[in-house]
Amino acid sequence: MYEIEVVLQAVTPIIKKNIYYTSPQEREDLEQELKMKIFEKQAIWQQTDTPTFLQFIERD
């Protein structure tokens, strides 16, 4: 869970900068939706195993 917190802290300023151009009523909801999408994608990234070089060669 620690990794997602680091990722969210890194992208929060970018999100806030870009949602500034959204209507004030929608900003909080949009920020939350974007963070939820990042959280969902983070779970997928963590499940993806990249093979080592030897595993890649032995696979063929």
Per the model's pLDDT, the better-predicted residue between 2 and 16 turns out to be 16
Give the mean pLDDT of 3-13: 90
Cα distance between residue 30 and residue 18, in whole Å: 10
Confidence of residue 1 (pLDDT cuts 50, 70, 90): low
Cα distance between residue 56 and residue 60, in whole Å: 7
Task: Sort 41 into a burial class: Cβ within 10 Å, 0-12 / 13-18 / 19+.
Answer: exposed
Q: Are 59 and 44 in contact (CB under 8 A)?
A: no
Per-residue model confidence (pLDDT) at position 60: 62
Segments forming the whole domain that contains residue 26: 2-59
| Total of domains in the chain | 1
The pTM for the full model equals 0.66
Instruction: Express each pLDDT in 10-44 by its tens digit.
Output: 999 999 999 998 999 999 999 999 999 998 888 77
